[in-house]
């Protein structure tokens, strides 16, 4: 009899300990997701504030910007000369619809300098008959062009089978690797072009870029799931370890 009582107490202690650990872990994960949401909201506010700043002349920047909040998504203008031989078409990209196409990226050498910035020029549809055919995009070599856009990191990477890619059509663009192809210093950030090139004819590219996403709602959703799991464990413990035994004893 004493052994049975001791065994029940041991099992109850183990269940209580496991429940407390589970509640503590899930509650901590929920709070962590709320903290991440608060950080993302602060980042979103910073991005909106960046967008209200006057355009930065990249030609006057002595040191290339880096991918930090102080620089990213700030409006900018740049003057330079296209390097059309260093144009890359990023495959399997979409813009305002499910139709597959390319993001067109071209190296631009800054006026009066040796360094290069990669310009995300826009989107163009892919040839549905020959997927290896790249569209013609007007890229005048000798003209000095003025571009308006915003500072941004390189395009998001998609899954690719090979570690390194070359050629006009690629899945992703690695700026470090691309600098070896260009044989010039390449900035660690890109310019997302938002206005047509001046001077020059229309290039036929779409530039309805989506706003930078910080996924705040995702973190709130994860926090809800963790807190719900926390409440579920607490409720199950109260029911099976406290309320149900009392009802059975009172029956």
pLDDT digit string (tens) for 137-153?
888 888 899 999 999 99
* Residue 205 domain flag: no
**What is the pLDDT, as a whole number, of residue 221?**
92
State whether 137 and 219 are in the same domain. Answer: no
Write down the pLDDT at residue 31. Answer: 93
pLDDT value, residue 139: 86
- Calculate the CA 7 to chain-centre distance: 53
Q: Do 188 and 230 belong to one domain?
A: no
Q: What is the pLDDT of residue 161?
A: 60
Considering the domain architecture, whether residues 23 and 108 belong to the same structural domain is answered as: no
State the chain's maximal CA–CA distance in angstroms.
97
pLDDT at 162: 60
Q: Which residues of the chain have pLDDT under 50?
A: none
- CB atoms near residue 72 (< 10 Å): 19
Domain count, the chain: 2
Q: Are 120 and 172 found together in one domain? A: yes
130 plus 85 within the same structural domain: yes
Q: Which residues of 212-240 are buried (b: 16+ CB within 10 A; e: fewer)?
A: bebebeebeebbeebbebbeebbeebeee
Residues 122 and 172 in one domain: yes
Record the tokens describing residue 106, joined without a space. Answer: 């071209």
Average pLDDT, the chain: 85
pLDDT at 199: 57
**95 shares a domain with 39:** no
Task: Flag whether 42 is in a domain.
Answer: yes
- Do residues 78 and 188 both lie within one domain? yes
Cβ(104)–Cβ(121) below 8 Å: yes
Here the tokens at position 53 are: 């700043």
CA of residue 76 relative to chain centroid, distance:
20
For 175, the token pair is 């700026």
Whether residues 220 and 131 share a domain: the answer is no
Q: Classify residue 91: in a domain, yes or no.
A: yes
Both 164 and 244 in one domain: the answer is: no
pLDDT computed for residue 190 by the predictor: 94
Could you tell me the residue range of the domain that residue 185 belongs to?
Answer: 74-193
Bridge partners for 76 per DSSP? 56, 149
Quick one: 81 and 189 in the same domain? yes
* Residue 81, pLDDT score: 94
Both structure tokens of 183: 């044989």
Residue 19's pLDDT is: 92
Task: Record the pTM.
Answer: 0.72
Q: Which residues pair with 57 in a beta bridge?
A: 77
33 with 143, same domain: the answer is no
Nearest alpha-carbon partner for 103 in 64, 157, 47: 157
List, for residues 6-48, the tens digit of each pLDDT value.
777 888 888 889 999 999 999 999 999 999 888 878 777 777 8
């Amino acid at each position: 009899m004493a052994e049975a009582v001791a065994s029940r107490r041991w099992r109850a202690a183990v269940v209580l300990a496991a429940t407390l650990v589970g509640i503590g872990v899930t509650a901590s994960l929920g709070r962590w997701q709320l903290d991440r949401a608060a950080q993302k909201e602060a980042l979103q506010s910073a991005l909106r504030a960046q967008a209200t700043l006057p355009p930065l002349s990249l030609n006057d920047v002595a040191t290339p910007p880096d991918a930090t909040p102080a620089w990213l998504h700030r409006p900018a203008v740049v003057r330079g000369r296209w390097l059309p031989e260093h144009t890359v078409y990023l495959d399997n990209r979409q813009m305002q619809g499910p139709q597959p196409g390319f993001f067109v990226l071209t190296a631009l050498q800054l006026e009066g300098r040796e360094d290069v910035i990669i310009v995300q020029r826009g989107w163009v549809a892919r040839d549905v008959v020959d997927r290896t055919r790249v569209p013609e995009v007007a890229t005048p070599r000798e003209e000095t062009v003025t571009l308006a856009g915003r500072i941004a990191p390189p395009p998001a990477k998609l899954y690719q089978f090979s570690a390194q890619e070359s050629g006009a059509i690629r899945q992703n663009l690695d700026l470090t690797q691309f600098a070896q192809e260009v044989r010039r210093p390449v900035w660690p950030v890109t310019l997302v072009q938002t206005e047509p090139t001046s001077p020059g004819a229309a290039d036929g590219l779409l530039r309805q870029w989506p706003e930078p996403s910080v996924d705040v709602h995702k973190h709130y959703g994860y926090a809800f799931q963790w807190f719900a799991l926390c409440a579920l464990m607490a409720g199950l413990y109260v029911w099976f370890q406290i309320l149900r035994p009392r009802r059975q004893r009172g029956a």
